């Protein structure tokens, strides 16, 4: 679809965006399709082998939606293969990248420092992160602004009659507790919800700047955690919702004119439509969770999700959730 004249004029302006409008970096963007996948969990041998078998996608771009692993080695494996196979790669952090493992408990980085270490590794491979300027996608399905963000969670995905102080004990009543409670530290913030609140303010500012600068261009927002509570369906561990996002982002797809919102974390692949915006959960997950695909001869290539141009929304009637095994 051809861009309208005003959008074309905008594309002739600055190619990048950040909250302060103080940084300009020009990049050659891919001209093909934009794909996404999350939750590679490269600490698992089967996932590591599957990732190593990713085939080249010349002309295409890839979003990595967090939880590629728990170590610098996992990040480098993810970024090196992604940048070998795709013309451009974006990454946003998941909770697993932010873990300070027990063997690192005395000397390892924590909280924001751990996040910055991940950013530094991404920059070794020219991978774009939430700390880099947003850029314009000019390939198929564009133009659109690619906006990787980082929000964490604040325990607000809970029933109204459960208090913040009682949220984690409420989850424990059903033998549910995230490993984050032991390995994901909020330093220097007093708590994870305080860190989440600071991140919300930071990326609200950045997204508002993007909308102000490019009012005619839609956004592709990528985040590890879902932006909406109604997209969190956890049949067997419903109280794990506490660690799945924040209600503060519920309307971001409308506020910031999102065309697509991409996330991972749930390990439940699905496509939803809300207010004309497409939501894609793109997790690979643990080996047992994509075992059926592997048994059918599928690998990571078949589990990549096409974000742009992607499927078109039906013009009439309700659009039900599409639960996806692959693709």
In a domain, 318, yes or no: no
Least confident of 89-98, 133-142, 179-188, 314-323: 314-323
Q: Which range of residues forms the domain containing residue 257?
A: 5-312
Report if residue 184 sits inside a domain: yes
The residue ranking higher by pLDDT, 79 or 26, is 79
Q: What is the mean pLDDT of residues 16-35?
A: 61
Strand 134-137 with 144-148, pairing: antiparallel
Asked whether 257 and 277 are in contact (CB, 8 A), the reply is: no
Integer Cα distance of 14 and 26 in angstroms = 8
- pLDDT category of residue 13 using cuts at 50, 70 and 90: very low
pLDDT of residue 8: 42
Q: Give me the pLDDT at residue 104, please.
A: 75
> Would 323 be classed as within a structural domain?
no
Overall pTM surpassing 0.85 (yes/no): yes
How many domains, the chain? 1
Q: Taking residues 196-204, report their average pLDDT.
A: 98
Count of beta carbons in the 10 Å neighbourhood of residue 137: 26
CA 80 to chain centre: 18
Distance of alpha carbon 6 from its chain centroid, rounded?
Answer: 30
Can you tell me whether residue 47 is helix, strand or coil? helix
Question: Of residues 299 and 10, which shows the higher confidence score?
Answer: 299
Whether pLDDT at 23 is above 70: no
Beta carbons within 8 Å of 20's beta carbon, 6+ residues apart: 209
Position 130 in a domain: yes
Domain presence at residue 317: no
What residue ranges in the chain does DSSP mark as E strands? 16-17, 34-37, 57-64, 86-91, 134-137, 144-148, 219-222, 258-263, 270-274, 277-281, 305-308, 322-323
Q: What's the rounded Cα separation, in Å, for the pair 231 and 279?
A: 9
CATH at residue 195: 3.60.21.10
pLDDT of residue 103: 84
Tell whether 326 is covered by a domain: no
Is 210 within the bounds of a domain?
A: yes
Q: How far apart are CA 67 and CA 128, in angstroms?
A: 16
Residue 319 lies inside a defined structural domain of this protein: no
Residue range 223-233, pLDDT digits in tens: 999 999 999 99
Q: Percentage of the chain surpassing pLDDT 90?
A: 86
State the pLDDT confidence band at 312, using cuts at 50, 70 and 90. confident
């Amino acid at each position: 679809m051809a861009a309208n004249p005003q959008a074309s004029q905008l594309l002739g302006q600055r190619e990048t965006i950040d909250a302060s409008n103080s940084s300009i970096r020009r990049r050659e963007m891919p001209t093909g399709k934009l794909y996404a996948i999350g939750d590679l969990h490269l600490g698992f041998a089967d996932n590591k082998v599957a990732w190593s078998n990713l085939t080249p996608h010349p002309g295409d771009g890839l979003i990595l939606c967090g939880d590629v692993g728990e170590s610098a080695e996992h990040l480098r494996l993810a970024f090196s293969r992604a940048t070998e196979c795709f013309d451009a790669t974006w990454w946003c952090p998941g909770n697993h990248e932010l873990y300070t493992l027990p063997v690192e408990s005395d000397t390892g980085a924590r909280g924001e420092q751990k996040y910055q270490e991940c950013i530094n590794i991404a920059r070794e491979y020219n991978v774009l992160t939430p700390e880099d300027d947003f850029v314009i996608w000019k390939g198929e399905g564009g133009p659109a602004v690619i906006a990787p963000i980082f929000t964490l969670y604040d325990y607000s995905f809970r029933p109204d009659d459960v208090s913040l102080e009682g949220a984690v004990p409420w989850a424990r009543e059903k033998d549910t507790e995230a490993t984050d409670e032991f390995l994901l530290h909020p330093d220097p913030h007093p708590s994870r919800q305080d860190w989440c609140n600071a991140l919300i303010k930071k990326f609200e500012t950045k997204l508002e700047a993007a909308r102000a600068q490019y009012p005619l261009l839609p956004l592709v927002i990528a985040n590890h955690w879902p932006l909406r509570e109604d997209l969190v369906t956890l049949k067997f561990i419903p109280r794990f919702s506490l660690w799945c996002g924040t209600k503060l982002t519920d309307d971001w797809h409308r506020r910031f004119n999102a065309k697509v919102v991409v996330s991972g974390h749930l390990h439940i692949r699905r496509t939803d439509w809300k207010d004309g915006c497409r939501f894609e959960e793109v997790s690979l997950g643990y080996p047992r969770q994509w075992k059926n695909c592997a048994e059918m001869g599928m690998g990571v290539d078949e589990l990549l999700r096409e974000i742009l141009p992607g499927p078109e929304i039906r013009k009439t009637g309700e659009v039900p959730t599409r639960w996806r095994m692959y693709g």
